[in-house]
A and B are shown apart, each in its own frame.
Chain A
């Protein structure tokens, strides 16, 4: 694995192997090889070596930070497809249609003529009892037709 890490350090690792390598590294608690390779490069290239403690302090501080997720690593150029679900809207329209139709049908029974016709066939005291006991027009009509 470290030979691959050395190749990756030089950007000479095949792209198909990079993810595999980085996944392996992330499973390890600590990989000091990368740090050593960097230090060797800095020495050979006569770069400022700085403080090793500082690197450790920074890494410790990063460990205490909440993990960052969901970046913009790759630009998504695919066209956005709307994921709106139209079923609830269609169901709402269907429900409104059914309620409207029911309301229209109920209105037919409320015509004055039909009430008069019923009243003429039924004794007045019985109608009064019905009005007294029925909680709604619907009950009234049901009971009336049942008596017939």
Chain B
């Protein structure tokens, strides 16, 4: 709701009451975890031998897992090794994943156990060891990290990417900017966005896609040139 209020003050005038009604309605009808549905599809494809599907899961969770483990392990290169080992372990065990829990919960557990084993081998004490602390890590995953583990070079790359994305969003036509903001910042569904923007769902779909493609187009050269360093 906070972000919506900000948007409203920034040239987009929304009917807040309408948003409230939509949110209430959608709280009742929306699936429990849409991310889980996507992951389940990708896992099923992976279990049928599709490595590309697992790569999509890697793209999706690598950063989050790195961030989670950075609260347990101090050394950046060690974190990267642990993240890589965790994904390889997850891939090898993918046939044992039955979908009883969310994929990321399963992956995070593998990551935490891999980190613990790694630290025990090195005779180091992990930053967080007991279940309560691990639970805290998982629950406060989105909280800003207290420690910056990035190298100055990778920090610079990240800053360039952030700047490029923000500049491109600013330069987008209003309807694209509005659609991508409502989707990515507020997490609204296409149906909610179509109600808010008073346009068909197909138009929302197209606007979000066009916004993403425009941003990706600007990112491509930056990613290509920084690939060797970032």
Chain A residues close to B by CB (< 8 Å) = 2-3, 6-12, 18, 22, 25-26, 28, 31, 33-45, 47-59, 61-63, 65, 67-75
Contact = CB atoms under 8 A, between A and B. Distances in A.
B108 interface: no
23 contacts: A6-B208, A6-B212, A8-B38, A10-B208, A11-B31, A11-B34, A25-B52, A36-B220, A36-B223, A38-B59, A40-B219, A48-B66, A48-B70, A50-B67, A52-B226, A55-B62, A62-B54, A62-B87, A63-B51, A68-B49, A71-B48, A71-B96, A75-B98
A40 B41 contact: no
Contacts of A44: 165, 169, 180-181, 184-185
Contacts of B84: 54, 57-58, 61
Interface residues of B, number: 76
Contacts of B205: 3, 6-7, 12
A86 to B, nearest CB: 33
A51 B35 contact: no
A75 B58 CA distance: 25
Nearest to A36: B216
A8 B161 CA distance: 24
Interface string B81-95: 001100110011011
Nearest to A48: B67
- Majority-rule SS of B interface residues: helix
Contacts of B165: 39-40, 43-44
Contacts of B157: 49, 52
Contacts of B14: none
Contact of A2 (B64, B142, B166, B213): B213
B58 A58 contact: yes
B80 interface: yes
Contacts of B49: 67-69
B63 interface: yes
Contact of B80 (A37, A39, A54, A74): A54
Given A26-B45, A28-B52, A36-B220, 11 more contacts: A6-B205, A8-B38, A22-B41, A39-B219, A44-B185, A47-B142, A50-B62, A52-B230, A61-B87, A62-B55, A72-B97
Contact of A62 (B51, B83, B142, B166): B51
A22 B184 contact: no
B120 interface: no
Contacts of B98: 72, 75
Interface in B177-230: 180-181, 183-185, 189-190, 205-206, 208-209, 212-213, 215-216, 219-220, 223, 226-227, 230
